[in-house]
Chains A and B, each alone.
Chain A
Amino acid sequence: MTTTAPAPEYSVIGTRPIRHDGLDKVIGRAKYAADIQMAGLLSAKILRSPHPHARIKSIDTSKAAALPGVRAVITAADIPAVASDRMQDLGETAVRLRFLSSNVLAGNKVLYKGQAVAAVAATSAHIAEEALSLIKVDYEVLPPALNVLDAMKDGAPLLHEDMLMQEFGQRTTKHSNIANHFRFKKGEPADGFKQADVVVEREFNTAAVHQGYIEPHAATANWNVDGKLTIWCSTQGSFNVRSQVATLLKIPESNVKVIPTEIGGGFGGKLGVYLEPVVALLAKKTGHPVKAIMSRTEVFEGTGPTPGSYMKVKMGANKEGRITAAEVSLMFEAGAFPGSPVNAGAMCALACYNLDNAQVDGYDVVVNKQKTAAYRAPGATHAAMAVESVVDELCENLKMDPIDFRILNGVKQGDRRVDGPAFGKVGFMEVLQAAKNHPHWKTPLTGKNRGRGFAAGFWFNAGGPASCYIAMNPDGTVSLIEGAADIGGTRAAIAMQAAEVLGIPADKVTPTVVDTDSIGYTSLTGGSSVAFKGGLAAYEAAQDLKKQLIERAAKIWETTADNVEFEKGEFKLKPSYERKMTFTELAGRLLTTGGPLAGRASVDARGVGPAFAAVIADVEVDPETGKTQVLRATIVQDAGKAIHPSYVEGQMQGGVAQGIGWALNEEYFFTNQGTMANPTFLDYRMPTALDLPMIDTVIVEVANPGHPFGVRGVGEVPIVPPPAAVANAMKRAIGVRMTDLPMSPGAVLAAIQAKGNGKR
């Protein structure tokens, strides 16, 4: 790695200690959701809809219930009535309850193949599976609406007969599969296009792709006779699970304890509930703890991928290389229920550029496919594929260097997004300069059928509530208690921020992620927020503890706190400094000098710093097979401050890898009947070690003024540029501009042949 940061000013931050939870994970001892075992545990299996669109006329569970070993069967009728159409804030997500409920167990209609319809608890998973085949569901099959453009047409089959289109949240009188339409506008695009010397207009299609976490969803519930419900699950938000389960089951939140297990990846796909309410109901009905684990096929068919999309982008620029106008239209497949990330995509689409005249339209469209979920910078990657491809074509037409073009048009502090708000301190220019100066960009690429592509990306990042508790141990270590699921090393990132404040090494902090009864409210592990907001909570808790320690040292020395100085893990008595006490020495004296000490903080972290990234990708395309190999990839990203650079690099590399998979291979391949034809890892092909090169990283650090250490958040933005960077590289390799994802061998071959036939 290279980093543009000056020499470290911190003693812990910016170093690379071994992560605290690492040992358990390399010896196989870490407990993930499927690893939960307990006496009397039953296994649950879910019956799923074979049709993409059908009315449920009746469900007969009697034969299944009679199978020896079966302890309970449930359907949507067992979910306490939540027919409410109201949006309810559950955790941080506003959810329409009847939609959430139907996605957990379908009511009178199924809206996608794979939607849960009934569930069985039995003494073994095999018996539960047998029982599923004995449940009789009488379906009235309905014609489906399977892609975004078809679903938007008048006369398309309606998924929700009573749904009225909204315009920026306001209900119209139009019955439609278009759940919402909104528009942002700045200046007059029509005037801007008149000033353009070159105009490029393109259409893009992207297929739905899955987050692809290796750990399938799993949940275990125990419902005690006193009404107390305990849930063990793999989630990005234990407090979110608590709210959603309590609301769906109409029980007080205080009766629900969610114990987050280790989580085997999420990327946005484990924010909401699927299995948790089901195992809870089965546990209540059977009086036993019940565990459910999804199969890989269930994960593909029954959880939320990121949407497929149709996008149109038109941009114009003058001879000097200034963008004069832009028009973007995004139509996203929300899946069975409204709520695609088209709004975020629309706000990110043009966020890299300072534009006087621009317009963005977004359409959230329901189709008979899985209800989509968040996936790493939700919506931004789609939009970047479209916009960054068109920007690249403008550069080609103007014969301008892609980085110079972006430096000329890129946003700086004070510039406005198309949706209005102005940027604070951002590091896009620094990212572009670092990319321009990188050996990868400066080294010419040679060889036949090879090309180099460049693309940029933006993501907001997020903040929000977080809590932290830090208790002193007599040996000079501290126990740090936090509430955010650790998907990729955030225990270390949070512990290191506390260690920095306390002047102790990172390994003297023992961080633990605890259940919802054991820590104050902590919001989702999402929005690239944990190192930012969890770090802020740890910083504040450590400051709280530090203040108390200084007071205790003063008490011991029979003076006042303002006479005690704390520096680099040592307490000193001012002004002569003849009396000193190390952190460890004071820790050992706490119990005999007034009792134990602990610091605590609950914060609502504000001052979020947005993130920019850029990717350089070299590809080679085999014109015989259409297969594209990424030869070299470099990502440059503004992290604000990298707390643990290794895990920041890991986020950047992982995002690039997912972006390359999205670009080249991955897709939900649907049959004309609305069935996903490839719901296994054999056919839904994610990148393997053999498909990728080493991924070079450059961490740029333009400190976020809203965080004590300058943290911005790093998890999401690295997935945004890669698909466009790869597409732009392919254009230079084979002279064909690919506009549809994935750019799989078959599609590339067809495009090469079409070009040969003079069609492109």
Chain B
Amino acid sequence: MADKVHVRTTINGEATEFLCEPRQSLLEVLRDVVGLTGSKEGCNDGNCGACTVLFNGRMVTSCLVLGVEAEGKNVTTIEGIATPAGLHPIQQAFLENAALQCGICTPGFIVAAKALLDREPNPSEQRIRLWLAGNLCRCTGYDKIIRAVMDASKKMQEVKAR
């Protein structure tokens, strides 16, 4: 076993330090070292999207990033999407549109949807389907998830227009 590495990073806006083995994935570090278990492991090979986080604003599956790669980076997890003032509109839309059943894929979907709406505030249904094709949901058939993202997009633009 190699020595642990000291990593300085920013997670959900807070300066964070941790020790990790070079072989540990960012997902493993987030869950087992930092204690942020909102990012889920569904496959550990980048195919289900349940561990989706923002890495310097870019959407990544954290199971395919090494913990040591977080050095000097900015990581946003599901735990960093809401603010003390309240839920993010995407989170609220997921609740109101019943866009979750078991809820295990929900964190990944919400983070991925945020990445989309951050760069494209008004995506089409097809665009949302393409963007979220890397996130698997087995419960909903995606219908209500797509509707929730469209709903959030609409409401975020209404707020902006005010």
The residues of A with any CB-CB pair to B shorter than 8 Å are: 16, 18-19, 21-23, 25-32, 34-35, 37, 126-127, 211-216, 262-267, 293, 295-296, 487-489, 644, 646-647, 649-651, 653-658, 680-682, 686-690, 692, 694-695
17 A-B residue pairings within 8 Å (CB atoms)? A16-B98, A28-B39, A214-B48, A214-B105, A215-B42, A215-B104, A216-B41, A265-B104, A266-B102, A293-B41, A649-B144, A656-B141, A682-B45, A688-B135, A689-B137, A690-B129, A694-B147
Is B133 among interface residues, defined by CB-CB distance under 8 A? yes
Tell me whether A489 and B48 are in contact (CB under 8 A): no
Q: Cβ of B98 and Cβ of A681 under 8 Å apart?
A: no
Is residue B18 within 8 Å, beta carbon to beta carbon, of the partner chain? no
Give chain B residues whose Cβ lies under 8 Å from the Cβ of A27.
38, 78-79, 81-82, 87, 91
Q: CB of B44 within 8 A of chain A?
A: yes
Are the CB atoms of A34 and B144 closer together than 8 Å? no
Hey, which chain B residues are within 8 Å of A687, CB to CB?
Answer: 141-142
B100 within 8 Å of A by Cβ?
yes
Q: A213 — which chain B residues lie within 8 A by C-beta?
A: 102, 104, 138
Check A264–B103 contact: CB distance below 8 A. yes
Q: What A residues does B132 contact at CB under 8 A? A: 688-689
User: Known pairs A127-B1, A690-B130. 12 more at Cβ < 8 A?
Assistant: A26-B91, A26-B107, A28-B78, A35-B37, A650-B139, A653-B140, A654-B101, A656-B141, A682-B45, A688-B132, A688-B142, A694-B146
Chain B residues with Cβ below 8 Å from A647 are 98, 101
CB pair B35–A37 under 8 Å, yes or no, is: yes
Set of chain A residues within 8 Å of B79, measured between Cβ atoms: 27-29
The one of B1, B87, B100, B146 in contact with A689, judged by C-beta atoms closer than 8 angstroms, is B146
Q: Which of chain A's residues have a CB closer than 8 A to the CB of B96? A: 18
**Complex Cα spacing A243 to B48, Å:** 33
With an 8 A cutoff between CB atoms, is B106 at the interface?
A: yes
Q: Which residues of chain B have a CB within 8 Å of any CB of chain A?
A: 1, 21, 23, 31-32, 35-45, 47-48, 50, 77-79, 81-82, 87, 91, 94-98, 100-107, 110, 125, 128-130, 132-147
Q: Which residue of B lies closest to A266 (CB)?
A: B102
In the A-B complex, the 10 residue pairs with the smallest Cβ-Cβ separation, listed nearest first, are A28-B38, A264-B104, A657-B141, A28-B78, A25-B103, A646-B98, A488-B101, A653-B141, A681-B47, A35-B37
Given the complex, which residues of B lie within 8 Å of A296, measured CB to CB?
Answer: 42-45, 48
Instruction: Report the separation of the CA atoms of residues A488 and B130 in the bound assembly, to the nearest whole angstrom.
Output: 25
Contact in complex: A689, B40 (CB < 8 Å): no
Closest residue of chain B to A645 (Cβ to Cβ) is: B98
Q: Is the CB of B43 within 8 A of A680?
A: yes
Q: Quick check: A681 and B136 within 8 Å, CB to CB?
A: yes
A655 to B139, CA, bound (A): 8
Instruction: Tell me how far the C-beta of A743 lies from the nearest C-beta in chain B, rounded to whole angstroms.
Output: 19
Q: In the complex, what distance in Å separates the CA atom of A267 from the CA atom of B141? A: 14
Distance between B22 CB and nearest chain A CB, rounded to angstroms: 11
| Residue contact A214 to B104, C-beta cutoff 8 Å | yes
Closest CB in chain A relative to B31 CB, distance in Å: 8
Out of B103, B138, B142, which one reaches A262, CB within 8 Å?
B103
Compute how far the CA of A264 lies from the CA of B51 in the bound complex, rounded to whole angstroms. Answer: 14
In the complex, which residues of chain B have a beta carbon less than 8 angstroms from the beta carbon of A211?
Answer: 138
